[in-house]
Structure 1
Amino acid sequence: MLRIRHEVNGGPEVLCAEEVDRPEAGPGELLVRTEAIGVTLPTVRKVREGSGPVSFGGEVAGVVVAAGPDVAGFAPGDRVTGLCFADAYAEYAVLGTAMASRIPDGASAVDAVALVRSGLVARGAYEAGRVRPGESVLVTAAASAVGTFALQLARAGGAGRVVAAVSSPDKAEFVRGLGADEVVLYEDADWGAPYDVVLDGVGGDLLGPAVRALAMGGRLVAFSSGGGTVEAYELLVRGASLIGFQMRAIALGRPDLYARWQRELWEQRAAGTLRTTVHEEIPLPEAARAHALIEQRRNLGKVVLVP
């Protein structure tokens, strides 16, 4: 089977394709013939910033071809999606059942990788921010896969003002189409502050400005892999809160909530109140191009690899 390998640190240019044996499903695992693979910012960052070879994780969607020992509730022929923590960039991937869910009839594999993981992160960050009707919400990385859902959730949830923060003005029309009332650029002075809630998917050097954009009593939800530091004084003078959110903690610690959120995402999509946005479907051997799109902040929505 075809698999994408990363040999050394240095960026997308060090990704290459290789032929390897098909893996086997272990206890509690499914072997999936992939039809779509989601590219995530954390994985792209690992390639650029890591000190050694990276095993590519990511969302996968496809058909179960084999189930390992101790698997219940899934069988060969099922269409599933879920998050693989290693070797996701391949024609066949091993998916743990704890991270797997069925794809509804009528939905494609591309729909699944565009909706489920990114939608879950957006839903979790939105819930962590405890957004109340009428409050103002700023979403950073608003044109990203997660950001597109965060905008829609804030709009549908009754936020009084929804603002998208993006890297370039050519993304403004796109994010307005997803519910943003206003658009600000990262280089702008105050990002149109203040905001009751900031949902930050960037981190790093933008974490400081995100805190300074908070209103008195505001809440900043940090859910990116970009790190960053915050001056405690900036929170103190605003009476503000900094909340960290990680989806894996919900998936493993609250499987009931994880399953309910997934179900509700599909229901919202079927009802037309939540839509997926896919920037491009890229052939698996061109994974380096997919990484470059995200690293250069050129994507509008999800970037998907297709075997």
Structure 2
Amino acid sequence: MRAMRFERFGGPEVLEEADVPDPVAGPGETLVEVAAAGVNFGDIKQIAGELTEGPYAQKGPLPHIPGMEVVGRTADGRRVLGYVRQGGYAAKTVVAERDLVVLPQGVSAGAALALLVQGLTAWHLLRSVARVRPGESVVVHAAAGGTGSLAVQLARAFGAGRVIATASSEEKRAFALELGADVAVDGAAEGYRERILDANQGQPVDIVLDAVGGPVLDSALDALGFLGRLVTYGSSSRQAATAVPPHRLAVESITVGGFWLIPLLTREGAGGTALEELVGLTARGRLRPLVGAEYDLGSARAAHEDLLGRRTKGKLVLVP
């Protein structure tokens, strides 16, 4: 079968197309004929050899086929979305049954792939960690990104009283408003508290979802009210936040939590209530995943180069 693999660590240039044997499903697994595979930054880091520990780490000897997300069909005719630990960049792959969810025809492959890593992350940020309640105010940083754009929509679907988006440009802020945010503001650290309180009609906010880190995270803590929750799930600024003294949290009973999806998938699998709810919301038109460019599987290098060069918008899709 056709696949993209790497025999050494490096940049996109190490990806090579190859003809490899079909995988064989073991107990509790299903062979899936791949119609589309998703591209993630985790794939790029794995190929670069930057991930040597944890669930993202490259397993087994080289050569290796990367890829974590696929949409395809099983031998019994089911159209499915699946999470794989490896082997997604191929015409066929093996998926554990617990990591599969059946897709309705109204959900495109690109939209489905956006729901797996980015969608599940947004769902768990709001439901599992922040535990959003109806009527609460939610601030979403980087609201035009893959996870942020879904978090804006899910906050509204979950009953948030006011959704405040932050983004770095007028174009991105306009997009966040189109997705359902009540207000969209500049997310820079300087003047952050004043902008957020103004966007929330002068009141501190209940929840902040942060993927920026550094000074922005520090400023976000100052915008939280009594029993406020900040959830960190990334650090795109590549800057360290100031250590938070316990008394700063105690004064307003503030909680700071973190989230990373991959350990949860390793423990519990991808299938189940959360992913089924995301697929259902998408099928009913209540959730609009951001879908980007489509590439032939043999052009996986180009997809990685475009992602690294920040020339993309939305979920990138490889088609075998």
Q: Assess same fold via TM > 0.5.
A: yes
- The answer as to 2:71 corresponding to 1:61 is yes
In 1, Cα distance between the equivalents of 2:29 and 2:305? Answer: 31
Once residues 44 and 244 of structure 2 are traced to their aligned partners in structure 1, the CA distance between those partners, rounded to angstroms, is 30
Tell me the alpha carbon deviations over residues 154-208 of structure 1, each in whole angstroms, 9 at most, x when there is no partner.
Answer: 1233323322233444322222211123334444524333532112245577554
Identity rate of aligned residues, in percent? 40
Counterpart for residue 199 of structure 2 = none
Q: Take 1:235 and 1:42, find their aligned partners in 2: how far apart are those partners?
A: 33
Gaps spanning 5+ residues in structure 1: where? 66-75
Aligned partner letter, 2:308: E
What is residue 297 of structure 2 aligned with on the other side?
284
Comparing 44-53 with 80-89, which one deviates more in the overlay? Answer: 44-53
Letter in 1 for 2:103: I
Summarize the Cα distance change of 1:7–1:251 in structure 2 as closer, same or farther, 3 Å threshold. Answer: closer
Match runs of 1:187-206 below 5 Å: 187-191=188-192, 192-193=195-196, 194-203=204-213
| Partner-residue secondary structure (3-state), 2:272 | helix
Quick one: structure 1 residues 136 and 298, their matched pair in 2 at CA, closer, same or farther if it must change by over 3 Å? Answer: farther
Which residue of structure 2 lines up, in the alignment, with residue 275 of structure 1?
288
Offset of residue 277 of structure 1: 2.0
CA distance in 1, matches of 2:165, 2:45: 23
Out of 224, 234, 243, the residue aligned to residue 214 of structure 1 is 224
Distance 2:186 2:125 in 1: 21
Superposed CA deviations along residues 88-125 of structure 1, whole A, max 9, x for unmatched, are 11111111111111112443333321334432221111
Q: Is the 8 A contact 1:143 1:301 kept in 2?
A: no
Q: 1:210: Cα distance to partner? A: 4.5
Instruction: Tell me if structure 2 keeps the 8 A contact 1:4–1:285.
Output: yes
1:243 to 249, 257, 263: 257
Q: How far has the Cα of 1:248 moved from its partner? A: 4.7
Q: How does 1:27-176 map to 2 (within 5 A)?
A: 27-48=27-48, 50=50, 54=58, 56-65=66-75, 76-127=76-127, 128-176=129-177
Q: 2:267 matched to 1:266?
A: no
Unaligned runs of 5+ in 2: 59-63, 197-203
Name the stretch that deviates more: 97-106 or 243-252. Answer: 243-252
Give the structure 2 partner of residue 26 of structure 1: 26
> Residue in 2 aligned with 1:231?
243
CA distance in 2, matches of 1:267, 1:260: 10
Q: Which amino acid aligns with 2:72?
A: G
In structure 1, what is the Cα distance between the partners aligned to 2:151 and 2:138? 10
The Cα offsets for residues 30-80 of structure 1, whole Å up to 9 and x where unpaired, read as 111111111223333444570679552321110114xxxxxxxxxx32221
Between the two proteins, the alignment pairs up a number of residues equal to 296
Counterpart of 2:23 in 1: which secondary structure?
Answer: coil
Q: 1:17 aligns to what?
A: 17
8 A Cα contact 1:167 1:297, kept in partner: no
Once residues 202 and 120 of structure 1 are traced to their aligned partners in structure 2, the CA distance between those partners, rounded to angstroms, is 19
TM-score, normalization by structure 2: 0.78
Q: Distance in 2 between matches of 1:131 and 1:278?
A: 26
Report the TM-score, using the length of structure 1 for normalisation. 0.81
Per-residue CA deviation, residues 233-253 of structure 1 (Å, 9 max, x unaligned), is 254555321222344555565
**How far apart, CA to CA, are the structure 1 residues paired with 2:79 and 2:148?**
26
Instruction: State how far apart, in whole Å, the 2-side matches of 1:173 and 1:4 are.
Output: 37
Q: Distance in 1 between matches of 2:313 and 2:124?
A: 21
SS at match of 2:283: helix
Q: Displacement, 1:152? A: 0.3
CA distance in 1, matches of 2:254, 2:295: 42
Question: 1:278 Cα deviation (Å)?
Answer: 0.4
Secondary structure at 1:285 match in 2:
helix
Which residue in 2 is equivalent to 1:68? none
Further displaced range: 24-33 or 109-118: 109-118
CA RMSD of aligned residues (A): 3.1
More displaced stretch, 201-210 vs 108-117: 201-210
